[in-house]
Amino acid sequence: MRIGIPVEAKDNELRVALTADGAHHLVRAGHEVLVQAGAGAGSSISDADYAAAGATVVEDPATVWRESQIVCKVKEPLPQEYPYLRDDLVLFTYLHLAADRACTQALLDAGTTAIAYETVRLPDGSLPLLAPMSEVAGRLAPQVGAYYLLRPAGGTGVLMGGVPGTRPAKVVIIGGGTAGRNAAQTAVGMRADVSVIDLSAATLREIDTELGPAVRTVISTAASIEREVLSADLVIGAVLVPGARTPRLVSNELVSRMQPGSVLVDIAVDQGGCFEDTRPTTHTNPVYPVHQSIFYAVANMPGAVPVTSTQALTNATLPYLTLLASAQATQPAAATATTAADAVAQLLLREPALAAGLMTQGGRLVSAEVAQAHGMSHGMPAGPA
């Protein structure tokens, strides 16, 4: 198959969907890789690196989208990319459609087969393609929070770890999954006073076993969230309901009672955010005030460290991308599949982990969670036409 890697269109999104080593792997497997010129620059991968790996470097995004059977991206298509969508195209990327009706509708209108990294799921329930970026975002969140706690940035003026004779910053992490656990690890390393709130006693037990008395674990209730948030310098929202819109757990009224200069970092912004006043921001304009607090809600946080993020993402996605690209080659001679979308539809019947990532196919919305978020109807995936 021919796999396309365009330049990301999102503000300051410097990640790229495939490293040069990943391109080399696909080329050696007999596939063609088209890379838009400059796609890897932000991740310190040059066009010459891709060419040396056997990829073809093309100048414009239209050629990448038009000539490719599979387009592999980092982030969801933006409106300027919607015209490139079509019914014989397979799109493999982070989509987070439960918080993006416009993109959902564009994929449906085009009939595109869209597979979301964030809901590819193994039999044990783990999310192998979401995990690496959750790790990055989790580890970034305390660093971001520490910066905005500085008084010149508008914060409370509290040092995360304090010094002898002073108190450290109180950090409250809502959600103990991959992002929350990594946030806790980093905040503990910065010597902050850390609390983790989660609904699952088993999750909190695991965090307690790992981090011990350095972290206070709290079962999630409305009362416990209110109590912890009101005394916090930094709140990190790390709640995840796979594929669905994130519940809003911190209200505007609660924020109005927080201490002036407190900072709220919403890692869950891609899925709608877990604070009532969350709205997506960019690396160019990352924060905004709510009452006397500071909200940070950059929808592509890992894009701030693209060298690390691109490598980690490719490590996770390459086996699945290879599987998708090989779908056409594994069709029997008498198969009726004539396009990549048809071949991938057959593959998904045999690969439940990938099938869990299927969002749209042939104009049909497959995800029940996305349908519920937008009040739309959904149906089971169809086989090839």
Dist. CA 81–CA 66, nearest whole Å: 11
Q: Give the pairing of strands 2-5 and 32-36.
A: parallel
CB atoms within 10 A of CB 21: 14
**Candidate list 270, 277, 342, 374, residue with the active-site label:** 270
- Tally the residues of the chain: 385
Rounded distance between C-alpha atoms, residue 132 and residue 112, angstroms: 26
Residue 175 CA, chain-centre distance (Å), reads 16
Q: In sequence order, what DSSP letters do the residues of 334-361 get, joined into one string?
A: T----SHHHHHHHHHHH-HHHHTTEEEE
* Residue 96 appears among annotated catalytic residues: yes
Catalytic residue among 49, 96, 193, 342: 96
For residue 107, give both structure tokens: 């994929």
Give phi and psi for 32, each to the nearest 5. -100, 140
The strand ranges marked E within 246-357 are 263-266, 287-290, 293-296
Is 32 in contact with 2 (CB distance < 8 Å)? yes
SS3 state of residue 114: strand
| CA pseudo-torsion sign 292, 293, 299, 301 | positive
Alpha-helical regions (H) of 45-200:
47-52, 61-67, 101-110, 131-148, 178-189
User: Helix, strand, or coil here: 266?
Assistant: strand
CB 188 within 8 A of CB 166: no
Concerning whether 233 is annotated as a catalytic residue, the answer is no
Calpha distance 117→359 (Å, rounded): 10
Helices 201-211/178-189 angle, 10° precision? 30
Residues designated catalytic: 96, 270
